[in-house]
Structure 1
Amino acid sequence: MFFHVHHPDSLQRRRWERIEHGWPNNRGGALKWILNLKYLPPVSAVSGIVFACLYAPVTFAQSIEQIGETVRQQQLEIREEQDKLQRERLQRELNNDFQQLSPKQKKSSGDAPVGPCFDVISITFQGLQNLPENLIGEVEETARPFLDQCLALAELSEIVQKLNGLFLQHGLVTTRAFLPEQSLKNGELLVRILVGELQGYESESLTPRNIKWAFPLDAGDVLNLRDVEQGLDQINRLRSNNATIDMLPGDEPGQTIVNVKNEAGYWLGGRLSVDGDSVQQGDDYRGRLDVFADDLLGINDALIINGNQSLAERAYSKSYGFGLDYSVPWRYNLFTLSGNQFRYENIIQGTNRTFVVSGESQVIDVSANRTLYRGQSTKFDGLVGLAAKKTNNYIEDTRIDVSSRQLSIGRIELRIKQFIGQDMTAFASLAGEHGLRILGADDDRQGGFPNDAQFRKYRFFGTLSKPFWNWQLGLTGQYQYSPDRLPASEQILVASSSLITGFSDFTMTGDSGGWLKLDLGSPYAAIHWLPGFHTNIGLSFLKGWVPHQADRQFQHGSASATEVAFRLMGHGLFVDVRVGKRLEAPSSDHSDPDVPDVGLSVSYSI
């Protein structure tokens, strides 16, 4: 049965193909796990292992189970922390964009007095050539219904009103159409268009370089409010900025000076926080320190550095991580470099000896985001990115190949932000990711791995928010589909205490699947006996599911939980106490879902 041990030159690398179905819990499975390390051990070591498996099966299997469970649990904790960082980064972008993307109301002018009518055979536009090319056709189309008609003064004024409304709709707030004094005896109507241009910028608090990198308009360009809003977004990306604009008349008719005012705070900030997704999991509480630095190079760049560590540090267990996020805007573009690293070390106590189980996970991601279209109530972005991920797990400094991967991932993403009606906002993104054979990534052509490094996956994410009386109603969801077997780091997390309090130590992932979360938050109310502090309550419900796929994943089904949260904030302090309960779990899970779970987050920002 073990004759291969006597021929080391003929040994080939072997992988454990059943890692998705759990770690081994019997004597044969334990031996198979050892044999599927990167290289087989020496003959004497194998003999000892065989002896141990035959004559001490229970203690050996228990140690193997402990090691497997430790690696699995640490990988899930790292994945949850990485998902949190991604959600925080996306939320920062959403908050900034939606604050500046607000519909502009048109001012309607009163009708002119009714009087004699004039035959209009043709309409000539003076200054039309100075408009953007994509608008010229719309101007002519707007005026066409008024041709070959007898128009009263009120109808002549309506032509001007419709044209000015068209300019306002396209963001040309300083461009206007008007009727000069003229004779209509020949049936020729002259409409003069004065195109608004940017004369320049003024600012007492921002440097010319800040303005040049943020605003896509240069002196002499047609002034478009959408371009001004984009520049304002880029300035206000920095947490220390609170910029507004005034439009001042320029030296010549049609020229405008954009005056940028900024109430800037201190360029350096910090936040100290303690976050526990589940009181029942003592190891789940982590301390974290974030440092924010704004405008280091004078180009509206932002740097965020964070460090976190488990607060349940013991002699036999420790974990910590570091991360950074650096972004630089350039007009309609945003370039981002982000990375994080997490490490853990656990000591597993066996019957006759201890095992040191350790691991690390590294992610480096670069992306470029460009605004492809920005309208009165819509913003459409395109994003491309490249990520390098490395995961290593060790037993006694020996790398476990089957759970250690090196991946390179290309990403294409489309994002849309939309105002719906007067008080509803929506965001949606559609992304496709593909594993690449670059930057030292594992190659599926070499075979031997239980999952695919050159995978394909497609992801949809969306949010919808609307005031509900004085409360705020929000709906958030994500769905992922992949036809391939995904590494653990690429699977979707559909049920976890990091998504909603109530799941305790239960976690559910899959190659394909999704989750949907409903949030209802009360308005913040002042606390009279605690000046400067406000409080609110929130209600949440989440349902996640993983579809059944034959021979694909061990865990499938659906899970749900509900949560009640109490929040207190003021003077830089934020406290969030959450109580949740699991309502549903897959039939394969036999833990008690009736025990309420408690989560706590406390942070202080300066």
Structure 2
Amino acid sequence: MGSQGINVLLRRIQNRLIEYGYVTTRVVVEPQDLRSGMLVLTVIPGKVGRIQLQDQSALPFATRGTLWFAMPLREGELLNLRDIEQGLENLKRVPSAEADFQLVPSENVGETDIVVGYKQRFPFHITLGLDDSGSKATGRLQGSATFSWDNVLTLNDMFYISGTRSFKRHSDKAEGDYGSQNISLYYSIPWKNYQLSLSGSRYRYHQTVAGAFESYTYSGESRQMKANLSRLLWRDSRSKTYLNAALWARQSQNYINDTEIEVQRRRTAGWEAGLSHTHYIYDGVLQLSALYKRGTGGHRALRAPEEEFDEGTSRMQIITANIDFSYPFSLFNQPLRFNTEWSAQWNRTPLVQQDKLSIGGRYTVRGFDGELTLSGERGWVWRNELAWNVGNWGQELYMAVDTGRVRSSQEELQVGNSLTGGAIGLRGNLWGLNYDYFVGVPLKKPEGFRTSNVVTGFNLSYRF
């Protein structure tokens, strides 16, 4: 091997090291006698020197913990660009924060200092929202208010509390008193390659049901709690993979005139485990996930009444999968974006209604009003969307076609098992107001499936 071949070999090894993130590690050939037929390459490891944080905020928010919780690497360790990228992602996950970094020579030989530039804006925000995603029975018009707090403990953590309630309007065509309220809490904190999130919610509703001689008030309440821990398993320049594990619990009760319907009482708990993967393909983003969900006897779980007839269980076993691909492109110098998402569910046990997959509505198969849905223990939903950024002004005109199919052990009780719908809409931001308005129609539905011939919907939100 001549000098030219050695240089080619060194270049390939160096490029491979850079590909794996070791951008300050070097491979050299020290003076040696090649007549023995052996070539010795020397690896000079590039290590981390000092890690410094420069807080450029108008009011300093960062502390030593801000950087320590974010960065998965320490002084004296091998410098890997992927670890720095993960640290920056932890710093920038707070919506009001920005961060970048510089590699500068260190005072110590073989080391490189990392200087992180950090800037955070005002950490408190209030978001007001209005949409018509509710049901006619409890009120289609929904108003919401959310308070969010960024960097609560100066550890790149986030907290928000959100409340939603329905408003009455004449078009609901519901008799008597009715309404719904929901409150939810969320907190998350990263620690190097880990992230912990805690969430909880409480939902209440009531509606008037007309009887033969008098009207009845039908009401209910449900609560959910979840703790999720994720860990980064792999990261390179084009992809990253996470392992996720969670504990969850939920319970619900329903009442008629303040008397509980005991057969409808539910109390369930369990765990989840899964993988999620993100891959960048040119300008596109591919996201994959798979999850296994298992119910247990924890949290004083109650047996489901359906277990007597083998029609459901509180010890459910469910597998879900999701594939999402988004790709921006241009046609005739016009910016377009295509998005396709496929999600599926499989069951290994009979499922109660709360665990079944339901289709028909703005969040599953668009073009349907959501008042009546198809549900099954297993099935899939495929959502497709083509969006045009009108004039590069941040306003998107989009067209969507969705389809879904469900299967169940009691299919003879349903009018059908598949739906297809379409929608066109406009969304964007005007003077700080986020908006989305769409018109949808059912394209294919079973005979006897009742839904509106034309569906309209909107969503408005403003953040202070």
Aligned-partner SS, 2:54: coil
Contact 2:180–2:204 under 8 Å retained in 1? yes
Deviations 1:423-478 (A, max 9, x none): 22211111111111111111369954752111111111110111232311111111
Question: Which one has the bigger strand percentage?
Answer: 2
User: Higher RCO, 1 or 2 (CA under 8 Å, sep at least 6)?
Assistant: 1
Specify the alignment match of 2:202 in structure 1: 341
Specify the alignment match of 1:452 in structure 2: 313
* 2:234 is the alignment partner of 1:373: yes
Equivalent position amino acid for 1:225 in 2: L
Contact 2:266–2:304 under 8 Å retained in 1? no
2:218 and 2:305 map into 1 onto residues whose CA distance is 30
Specify the alignment match of 2:28 in structure 1: 178
User: Which stretch of structure 1 is more off in the superposition, 344-353 or 280-289?
Assistant: 280-289
Question: 1:477 pairs with 342, 357, 369, which one?
Answer: 342
2:307 and 2:426 map into 1 onto residues whose CA distance is 51
Equivalent position amino acid for 1:513 in 2: G
Specify the alignment match of 2:272 in structure 1: 411
Change (3 A) 1:404 1:348: same
Give how far 1:552 is off.
8.0
Change (3 A) 1:524 1:605: farther
Question: 1:600 pairs with 441, 444, 458, which one?
Answer: 458
Aligned-partner SS, 2:39: strand
Give how far 1:555 is off.
5.3
1:289 and 1:315 map into 2 onto residues whose CA distance is 26
Specify the alignment match of 1:498 in structure 2: 363
Question: 1:287 pairs with 143, 151, 159, which one?
Answer: 143
Question: 1:517 pairs with 373, 377, 383, which one?
Answer: 383
1:446 and 1:510 map into 2 onto residues whose CA distance is 15
RMSD of the alignment, in Å?
2.3
Q: Percent identity among equivalent residues?
A: 23
Change (3 A) 1:195 1:282: same
1:457 and 1:552 map into 2 onto residues whose CA distance is 22
Specify the alignment match of 2:58 in structure 1: none
* 2:397 is the alignment partner of 1:568: no
Equivalent position amino acid for 2:373 in 1: T
* 2:161 is the alignment partner of 1:305: yes
Aligned-partner SS, 1:523: strand
Change (3 A) 1:481 1:471: same
Deviations 1:223-244 (A, max 9, x none): 1111111111111111111111
Change (3 A) 1:356 1:280: closer
Equivalent position amino acid for 1:545 in 2: R
Aligned-partner SS, 2:120: coil
Larger Rg: 1
Question: 2:16 pairs with 150, 159, 166, which one?
Answer: 166
Give how far 1:346 is off.
1.6
Give how far 1:351 is off.
4.5
Contact 2:407–2:417 under 8 Å retained in 1? yes
Contact 1:500–1:563 under 8 Å retained in 2? no
Contact 1:277–1:285 under 8 Å retained in 2? yes
1:286 and 1:176 map into 2 onto residues whose CA distance is 60
2:324 and 2:413 map into 1 onto residues whose CA distance is 28
1:447 and 1:501 map into 2 onto residues whose CA distance is 33
Give how far 1:394 is off.
0.4
Equivalent position amino acid for 1:518 in 2: N
Specify the alignment match of 1:111 in structure 2: none
Aligned-partner SS, 1:242: strand
Equivalent position amino acid for 1:195 in 2: P
Aligned-partner SS, 2:11: helix
Equivalent position amino acid for 1:178 in 2: V
Give how far 1:179 is off.
2.9
User: Which stretch of structure 1 is more off in the superposition, 291-300 or 551-560?
Assistant: 551-560
Change (3 A) 1:487 1:426: same
Contact 1:278–1:597 under 8 Å retained in 2? no
Question: 1:436 pairs with 285, 296, 300, which one?
Answer: 296
Number of aligned residue pairs: give it.
447
Give how far 1:204 is off.
2.0
Contact 1:500–1:580 under 8 Å retained in 2? no
Equivalent position amino acid for 1:535 in 2: Q
Aligned-partner SS, 2:16: helix
User: Which stretch of structure 1 is more off in the superposition, 300-309 or 260-269?
Assistant: 260-269
Give how far 1:298 is off.
1.8
* 2:111 is the alignment partner of 1:255: yes
2:440 and 2:134 map into 1 onto residues whose CA distance is 9
TM-score, with structure 1 as normaliser: 0.70
Contact 2:366–2:402 under 8 Å retained in 1? no
Contact 2:378–2:408 under 8 Å retained in 1? no
Change (3 A) 1:535 1:154: same
Question: 2:50 pairs with 200, 207, 216, which one?
Answer: 200
TM-score, with structure 2 as normaliser: 0.90
Specify the alignment match of 1:46 in structure 2: none
User: Which stretch of structure 1 is more off in the superposition, 386-395 or 479-488?
Assistant: 479-488
Aligned positions of 1:217-366 closer than 5 A: 217-277=73-133, 283-312=139-168, 316-366=177-227
User: Which stretch of structure 1 is more off in the superposition, 182-191 or 243-252?
Assistant: 182-191
1:395 and 1:498 map into 2 onto residues whose CA distance is 30
1:159 and 1:261 map into 2 onto residues whose CA distance is 37
Change (3 A) 1:361 1:455: same
Equivalent position amino acid for 1:204 in 2: Q
1:501 and 1:537 map into 2 onto residues whose CA distance is 16
Change (3 A) 1:555 1:247: farther
Deviations 1:128-166 (A, max 9, x none): xxxxxxxxxxxxxxxxxxxxxxx2322111111011111
Give how far 1:317 is off.
0.6
1:555 and 1:241 map into 2 onto residues whose CA distance is 51
Specify the alignment match of 2:172 in structure 1: none
Contact 2:138–2:179 under 8 Å retained in 1? no
Give how far 1:597 is off.
1.1
Contact 2:206–2:219 under 8 Å retained in 1? yes
Equivalent position amino acid for 1:429 in 2: S
Aligned positions of 1:205-216 closer than 5 A: 205=55, 206-216=62-72
Change (3 A) 1:458 1:279: closer
Change (3 A) 1:490 1:278: closer
Change (3 A) 1:241 1:570: farther
Change (3 A) 1:379 1:472: same
Contact 2:365–2:419 under 8 Å retained in 1? no
1:563 and 1:170 map into 2 onto residues whose CA distance is 44
Aligned-partner SS, 2:389: coil
Change (3 A) 1:409 1:587: farther
Contact 2:368–2:451 under 8 Å retained in 1? no
Question: Which one has the bigger helix percentage?
Answer: 1
Contact 1:497–1:507 under 8 Å retained in 2? no
Task: Give 5+ residue unaligned stretches, structure 2.
Answer: 56-61, 170-174
Aligned-partner SS, 2:43: strand
Change (3 A) 1:592 1:556: closer
Deviations 1:541-575 (A, max 9, x none): 11011125356863541001111111231442111
